[in-house]
Chains A and B, each alone.
Chain A
Amino acid sequence: MYKELKALDVEVLSMSTDSRFVHKMWQEHELSKMVKGGVPFPMLCDPGGRIGAIYGVYDESAGVNIRGRFIIDPDFKIRAMEVLTPEVGRNPKEQIRQIKAFQHVRATGEVMPSGWEPGQPTLKPGPDLVGKVWEVWKP
């Protein structure tokens, strides 16, 4: 999965309120046993949740950042955000689908209908498409 993201020129950064020392221990004692070599991306620290607060994911009552994921494009614009309460993990596949979709938009100006998967037809917005989406998109 990480290789696929790298191939798409994506940098992954993870962040929690843990210290860098705890990140190191987690990597060495648990993550490296789940993923060969441990996680390859930088594990960032957010003491006090100050960064998380700005990103709207800091839970003051628990003192931690909840699961928030942001896709930032090369112009430093936020393209997507997904925030979940902690009980449910994320779906990296959906993350990759969104990255591919946003990269396609950036390259071509074409847009994606709901449920779009890479390789499926995209839509070229313009006067000619008004009322004709049904001709190109048959989910």
Chain B
Amino acid sequence: MVEKDGCVKPVKGPLLPSLDPAKGAQAAPEKEVSKMQVRVGGEAVDFETSAFIAGKGFQPVKLSDYKGKWIILCFYPGDFTFV
């Protein structure tokens, strides 16, 4: 199925259990959402977002799709920057 890809497409972002209404959670206050919630030795926080993949184009990616493998997750400031 070819997904319609408009200019603006909402992404789910972090999938925190505390934000899951199915688990009876109320929407967490904004401050709570922006706090660091990972630590070494702890579970990775799942998320779902859009991605560009060479040869495949635009696709949604969920971190937990890669569960069972070793993952390197790299954040960087921006495309077309210098380092």
Binding site for B on A (CB under 8 A): 5, 8-18, 20, 22-27, 30, 37-48, 50-58, 60, 62, 64-74, 76-81, 86-90, 95, 99, 102-103
Contact = CB atoms under 8 A, between A and B. Distances in A.
Of B42, B76, B77, B80, most buried by chain A (CB within 10 Å of CB) is: B76
Interface residues of B, number: 46
Given A47-B49, A67-B75, A78-B41, 8 more contacts: A11-B71, A20-B50, A23-B79, A45-B49, A54-B38, A64-B77, A69-B73, A71-B71
Given A11-B71, A26-B79, A78 B40 contact: yes
A45 B76 contact: no
A6 to B, nearest CB: 11
B79 A16 contact: yes
A69 B54 contact: no
Contact of A42 (B36, B52, B77): B52
A76 B54 contact: no
Interface of B: 11, 13-14, 16, 33-45, 47, 49-54, 58-59, 61, 63-64, 66-81, 83
A25 B44 CA distance: 30
A77 to B, nearest CB: 6
A32 B46 CA distance: 30
Contact of A16 (B40, B45, B78): B78
Contact of B42 (A20, A25, A78): A78
B49 to A, nearest CB: 5
Contact of A10 (B58, B72, B78): B72
B83 to A, nearest CB: 5
Nearest to A68: B75
Contacts of B61: 13, 42, 44
Contact of B14 (A20, A51, A102): A51
A43 B58 CA distance: 10
Given A10-B69, A38-B54, A44-B49, A77 B14 contact: no
Nearest to A87: B83
